[in-house]
Amino acid sequence: MSKVFSYGRFSNATQSAGDSYARQTKAAKAFAEGRGLDLADPAEYLFFDKGRSAYKGKHLDDTGELARFLRYVEDGSIPAGSYLVIESLDCLSRERVRDALPRFLDLLAKGINIFTSADNHLYTQDYDVTDFLISVICMVRAHEESAVKGVRVSAASQAKQKLAWETGKPLGKLRSLWLDLTLDGYVLNPERAADA
């Protein structure tokens, strides 16, 4: 009988305070129950990447849970006909479409059905042009959102650095050990400076 597997991911620590994990696993349980399918044993098949960027492909390195899922598909531990439940396609990747699309299509070609709970869409190896276009558009949107966010974060960081350079205002609490942070900025700590 086909089994349902869940993969979830969030990319930064602030999201860990939310309900990402509970929400994403609940969706997999609901999908399995609604289709009369068995949910894979979470003790063995729990695939959840905490604090891993799908924009930089960190969830695909050797310790990533998505990478582990893909290895199980490759070696047959997760057979064709299985279902992978994800919240949206950006869980699989926020990389450029040329990197994300082949992985997605390869899973479908190997008989892994992909269900996105955010829009209740099921992708199968019998996908049609509409499915293909929807997936590409989702991947483009996910990549562009992450790229824009990266540009904004970089610009904000550069603005802080410029302000620090011009005014001497500290960038934050991180500092060299021979400096202390005061309300007026950084001051030399003579004891630590002597040890350095």
Residue 75 included in any domain: yes
Which residues have a Cβ under 8 Å from the Cβ of 52 and sit 6 or more positions away?
A: 9, 11, 58, 59, 64
Q: Quote the number of domains for the chain.
A: 1
State how beta strands 3-10 and 121-123 pair: unpaired
Residue 74 included in any domain: yes
- Say which CATH number the domain at 40 has: 3.40.50.1390
Residue 19 included in any domain: yes
Is residue 180 within 8 Å of residue 186, measured between CB atoms?
A: yes
How does pLDDT run across 106-134, given as a tens digit for each residue? Answer: 999 999 999 988 888 898 999 887 877 77
Model pLDDT, residue 16: 46
Residue 179 included in any domain: no
Predicted TM-score of the model (pTM): 0.64
Structural domain span for residue 15? 3-145
How does pLDDT run across 141-166, given as a tens digit for each residue? Answer: 754 665 456 456 555 566 666 666 67
Give me the chain's average pLDDT, please: 76
What is the residue whose two structure tokens read 């960190």? Answer: 58
How does pLDDT run across 27-68, given as a tens digit for each residue? Answer: 889 999 999 999 998 777 778 877 655 445 555 556 678 888
Which residues have a Cβ under 8 Å from the Cβ of 35 and sit 6 or more positions away?
A: 4, 83
Residue 174 included in any domain: no
Residue 192 included in any domain: no
Whose CA is closest to 100, among 131, 148, 140, 130?
A: 140
Tokens of 36: 């009369």
